[in-house]
């Protein structure tokens, strides 16, 4: 992310004289659409920031909105509109989608109201769930997600029993490679370049550093994360072409996910029994 920002703002150390000649180029229809779409995403980020108002995460959302706005203004001023669209596709869209779902789940758990896409006629008063206790409300967002997932599984189990024609979603069963190592970061230090790797046999401190890196990139707390190992997989990419190789497998809120270190997307998986748990 830092390298990308440095590239966008010309901080990689390039030097030399530049001259712009000719008449200004008029913004074409596609470029104008990119600008409108970018403004729409900025508005969505602001709305998302307002939804997190009063939470410990509010300053982070405010900072993300301001940084995204600066990137928008910079790239528009440089007429690098295609890069602006790529930035939103790779970062903004996924961020908005993920944290909109999280706040929807949190608010539903607080109020008992269904999500926008799940609106149903109100149940009789006798069937309405009792309000959560203060202790339950203070358990935190992680418990909210886990409890909601449990209720959803119980509800879907009853629906499947009523209709055997529904499609079955099966998570891929994978085995961990306890010998493979993956490079996940390259940094510079006073003594030269430093390469960070993650594998089953690295030290506990190195695993903790990796989990801290993942938590900061995903914008979540480190407390609910664990490292299980690496696995050889083929995962789908945004352009429709699969990417094959070794991917780290992390645990989060009781479930396991393969992590794509290119765009930090998560893919749910099931570990083979002989693979064991994580750290």
Round to the nearest angstrom and report the end-to-end CA distance of the chain: 26
- Distance, in Å, from the CA atom of 225 to the CA atom of 264, rounded to the nearest integer, reads 14
- Lowest model confidence (mean pLDDT) among 26-30, 138-142, 175-179, 213-217: 138-142
Per residue in 64-97, pLDDT (tens digit) is 999 999 999 999 999 888 888 888 898 898 888 8
Residues 6+ apart with CB under 8 A from 71: 5, 8, 84, 87
- Distance, in Å, from the CA atom of 172 to the CA atom of 268, rounded to the nearest integer, reads 8
- Distance, in Å, from the CA atom of 241 to the CA atom of 2, rounded to the nearest integer, reads 26
Q: What is the pLDDT of residue 66?
A: 93
Per residue in 35-63, pLDDT (tens digit) is 999 999 999 999 988 988 888 888 998 89
Per residue in 172-187, pLDDT (tens digit) is 888 888 888 899 887 7
- Distance, in Å, from the CA atom of 239 to the CA atom of 250, rounded to the nearest integer, reads 24
Label residue 134 by pLDDT band (50, 70, 90): very low
Of all residues in the chain, the percent with pLDDT exceeding 90 is 21
Residues 6+ apart with CB under 8 A from 210: 184, 196, 198, 202, 227, 248
Beta-bridged to residue 243, according to DSSP, are 235
- Lowest model confidence (mean pLDDT) among 33-37, 131-135, 229-233: 131-135
Higher pLDDT among residues 171 and 157, named by residue:
171
Verdict on whether the full-model pTM lies above 0.75: no
Per residue in 183-231, pLDDT (tens digit) is 988 777 777 777 889 998 899 999 999 999 999 888 888 888 999 999 9
Residues 6+ apart with CB under 8 A from 143: 136
∠ CA(139), CA(268), CA(98), 5° rounding? 60
Residues 6+ apart with CB under 8 A from 179: 199, 200, 201
Give the chain's radius of gyration (CA, Å): 23
Sign for the pseudo-dihedral over CA of 12, 59, 249, 240: negative
Higher pLDDT among residues 52 and 242, named by residue:
52
* 132 pLDDT higher than 90: no
With contact defined as beta carbons under 8 Å apart, do 258 and 231 qualify? yes
- Distance, in Å, from the CA atom of 84 to the CA atom of 219, rounded to the nearest integer, reads 22
Residues 6+ apart with CB under 8 A from 39: 72
Q: What is the pLDDT of residue 15?
A: 47
């Amino acid at each position: 992310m830092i390298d990308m920002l440095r590239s966008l703002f010309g901080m990689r150390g390039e030097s030399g004289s530049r001259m712009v000649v000719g008449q200004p180029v008029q913004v074409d229809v596609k470029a104008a659409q990119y600008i409108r779409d970018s403004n729409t995403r900025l508005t969505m980020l602001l709305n998302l920031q307002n939804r997190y108002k009063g939470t410990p995460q509010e300053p982070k959302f405010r900072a993300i909105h301001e940084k995204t706005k600066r990137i928008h203004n910079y790239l528009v001023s440089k007429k690098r509109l295609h890069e602006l669209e790529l930035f939103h596709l790779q970062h903004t869209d996924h961020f908005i989608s993920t944290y909109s779902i999280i706040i929807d789940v949190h608010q539903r758990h607080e109020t008992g109201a269904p999500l926008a896409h799940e609106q149903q006629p109100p149940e009789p008063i006798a069937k309405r769930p009792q309000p959560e206790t203060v202790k339950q409300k203070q358990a935190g967002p992680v418990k909210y997600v886990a409890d909601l997932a449990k209720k959803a599984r119980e509800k879907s189990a009853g629906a499947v029993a009523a209709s055997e024609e529904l499609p079955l979603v099966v998570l891929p069963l994978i085995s961990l490679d306890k010998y493979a190592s993956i490079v996940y970061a390259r940094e510079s230090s006073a003594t030269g370049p430093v390469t960070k790797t993650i594998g089953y046999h690295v030290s506990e401190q190195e695993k903790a550093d990796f989990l801290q890196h993942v938590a900061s990139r995903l914008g979540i707390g480190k407390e609910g994360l664990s490292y299980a190992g690496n696995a050889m997989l083929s995962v789908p990419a945004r352009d429709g072409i699969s990417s094959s190789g070794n991917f780290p497998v992390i645990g989060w809120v009781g479930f396991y996910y393969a992590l794509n270190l290119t765009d930090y997307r998560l893919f749910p998986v099931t570990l083979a029994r002989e693979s064991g748990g994580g750290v």
